[in-house]
Structures are given as C-alpha cells and as structure tokens.
C-alpha cells in the first residue's frame, strides 16, 4: 500500500478552459500530481445538466482533454479520465442518492443559483449534482480535493454523505476528504468586464485556446475607469482586476511599473492593456499550439482516455464491490 494521499478533481466539459481555470485549478493539479495519487477527470455527466447537443458534448470533452494534457497534466503520472467512461460512478451515485435528503439538496447555494439562472430547466440532475460530485470523489476514497471557493459547499456535502454512510452501516469505510490548495497560490482570476470572476459562460474570459488577435481584442475592450485623480489612491475594482491578471502573467517589474504610474496618476490604461495582452499571449501561446497539436492526434487522445479509464475503473470497481457488500448485496448462500 502506498502512503500517498489520493487526490480527485474534475472540471465540467462545458466549454474551453480559461485563465481562471488555469490559475485557479490546473496550476494546483500540476503541483499535486507528483506527490499524490491523483485522479483528474472531465465531468461530462455533470455537463448534461445544461442539455448540450451531442456533437457539442463530444467536442467539448475532446477539447478539455487536450487542454488538460497541453497544460502539463501527465497521464503517465496521474490518472486522467472521462467521467462517463467509468460507469461505476453512476452506480455509486444511485446508492448515495438513497441517503441524500431532498431538503438539504434544495438548500445548496449552487442549486438555488441554477433555479435563478436556468429556470426553464430545473432538472433532477441539478438537484442531485452534489451527490454525483460526492460519488466522483469517494469512489476513489480521496483524501484531498483541490477545488475553488465556489465548490466548498459541494465538498462539505461530500464529507457529510461519506460520514453518513459510515454511520449508517457502522463502518469506517469512506475517508472525509479535505479541500486542498496551495494557499496564496490559488488565485481567483477576475473577468474583463469589471466585476466578478472569469467564467466560461459569462463572456468575460480569456481562453487558453484564444488566438493572439482574439486576446488583444478582448483585453483592449476590458472595462477600466476614467483614470486616477488622487495620487496614492487604490485602483478601482475593474482596474484592480487587470492588475490581478497582470500579477500572474507579467513580471514583478512590469506590475510595479504600472502600479507606480497609477499611484502618480500618470497611467495610460491603453499602454497597460497592450502590455497585459502581450504578456498573456506569451503565456498562452505555447499552450495553444500544444492544444492544437494534441487535438489533431486522435490516436493519442484515444490512448490516453482508454488507459485513464482502465486505471480509474480498477479503483472504482473495487469500491463498488466493497460498498455493495457493506450495504448487504451478496450472492446467495453466503
């Protein structure tokens, strides 16, 4: 038995990955993969809650897989797989649904958000989203889950479901997983529209696969303000957001240069944006060409997916065997 911690994390395949996904999640994955037993997957069952067209569903799964790999997630070290390739997770989801209460599911913030955002499609999958997420995590008996702030409540529910199962069957089977990040290195990347975080659907994001001209256009259009007038004053929210992005892609010197210009009220936001766009491009361009290279290699993608599925299923099927026995399913005569 290895003494390494088991890490599980996933990203929903609902669109291309953006800078927020990179600096909020993937950068942590890269650090964790060496020292832990990692399972990184594409949450494509979860993606069904928004009813994607079949071609879009497939295209998005392929895109996110290529993006994971292009960022440096190493399928030789970590287990990289597609959720729907591991049907065991849907069995555990069914079993866990029996011990999840409608009341607690209805009270989760993400569910209440969804009711507001997609009131024409409040399906049962949305309600039981935290149960599926719990199944993803506990099926590998994970100890650590690198997730952003917005997923903390879902992770709390995972802990609760794991604890409840253990109590109900008087076993100590599932560990209660902890949220995990590298402290200050987990940054929340804001969007370019002045408020809030970068999102896939918000239209405020810079994608890893964006071309240089798309990036320049987006950055030049980013919201700022009319310019500082009082020396030494803190930047306004939209400008602070640009500095936050600059902090992760530019050198400290560049950041300080524009901070000083801002502080002395001499800043020209156009110059700052030009610099920011070039620094983002410097960061994303090698990733973008890698994404395109991997996307054109279906054989490699198929191999990674198949090997990942095999490793994930080995771990998942062991858990399902144990859980079925604990619950009381067993062959006759035993």
Q: Which residues are catalytic?
A: 114, 197, 200
Q: What angle do CA 80, 84, 85 make, to 5 degrees?
A: 60
For the bound state, the minimum distance from the C-beta of residue 116 to ligand TRP, rounded and expressed in Å, comes to: 17
Q: Which residue has the tokens 């060409």?
A: 289
Measured between alpha carbons, how far is 278 from 246 in angstroms, rounded to an integer?
Answer: 10
Binding segment toward ligand TRP, per CB under 6 A, in 115-123, 146-154, 167-175, 267-275: 146-154
Q: Which residue has the tokens 């991997």?
A: 294
Measured between alpha carbons, how far is 21 from 188 in angstroms, rounded to an integer?
Answer: 9
Instruction: Please name which of 299, 271, 276, 303 lies closest in space to residue 75, comparing C-alpha atoms.
Output: 303
Nearer to ligand TRP, 145 or 255 (CB): 145
9 belongs to the binding site for ligand TRP (CB under 6 A) = yes
Token output for 70:
């292009």
b/e for 16-49, b at 16 or more Cβ within 10 A?
A: bbbbbbbbbbbbbbeebbeebbbbbbbbbbbbeb
Return the residue of 43, 78, 245, 280 that touches ligand TRP, per CB under 6 A: 43
Binding segment toward ligand TRP, per CB under 6 A, in 8-16, 60-68, 203-211, 276-284: 8-16
For the bound state, the minimum distance from the C-beta of residue 147 to ligand TRP, rounded and expressed in Å, comes to: 5
Q: Which of residues 274-293 bind ligand TRP (CB under 6 A)?
A: none
Return the residue of 66, 126, 139, 145 that touches ligand TRP, per CB under 6 A: 145
Nearer to ligand TRP, 131 or 242 (CB): 131
46 belongs to the binding site for ligand TRP (CB under 6 A) = yes
Residues found near ligand TRP in the complex (CB under 6 A) = 8-10, 12, 43, 46, 133, 136-137, 145, 147, 151, 154
């Amino acid at each position: 038995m290895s003494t390494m911690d088991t890490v599980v994390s996933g990203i929903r395949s609902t669109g291309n990955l953006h800078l927020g996904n990179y600096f909020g999640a993937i950068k942590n994955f890269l650090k964790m993969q060496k020292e832990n037993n990692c399972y990184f997957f594409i949450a494509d069952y979860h993606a069904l809650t928004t009813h994607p067209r079949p071609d879009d569903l497939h295209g998005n799964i392929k895109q996110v897989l290529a993006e994971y790999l292009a960022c440096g997630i190493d399928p030789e070290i970590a287990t990289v797989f597609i959720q729907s390739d591991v049907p065991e997770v849907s069995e555990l989801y069914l079993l866990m649904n029996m011990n999840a209460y409608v009341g607690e599911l209805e009270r989760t913030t993400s569910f209440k958000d969804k009711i507001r955002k997609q009131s024409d499609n409040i399906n049962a999958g949305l309600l039981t989203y935290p149960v599926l997420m719990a199944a993803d995590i506990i099926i590998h008996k994970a100890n650590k889950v690198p997730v952003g702030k917005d997923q903390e409540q879902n992770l709390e529910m995972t802990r609760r479901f794991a604890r409840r199962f253990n109590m109900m069957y008087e076993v100590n089977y599932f560990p209660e997983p902890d949220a995990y990040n590298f402290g200050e290195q987990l940054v929340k990347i804001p969007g370019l529209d002045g408020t809030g975080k970068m999102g896939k659907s918000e239209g405020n994001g810079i994608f890893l696969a964006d071309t240089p001209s798309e990036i320049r256009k987006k950055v030049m259009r980013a919201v700022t303000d009319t310019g500082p007038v009082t020396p030494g004053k803190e930047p306004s929210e939209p400008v602070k957001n640009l500095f936050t992005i600059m902090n992760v892609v530019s050198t400290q010197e560049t950041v300080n240069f524009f901070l000083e210009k801002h502080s002395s009220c001499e800043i020209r936001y156009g110059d700052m944006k030009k610099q920011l766009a070039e620094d983002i491009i410097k960061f994303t361009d090698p990733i973008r060409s890698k994404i395109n290279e991997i996307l054109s290699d279906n054989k490699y993608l198929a191999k990674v997916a198949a090997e990942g599925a095999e490793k994930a299923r080995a771990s998942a099927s062991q858990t399902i065997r144990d859980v079925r026995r604990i619950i009381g399913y067993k062959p006759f005569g035993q």
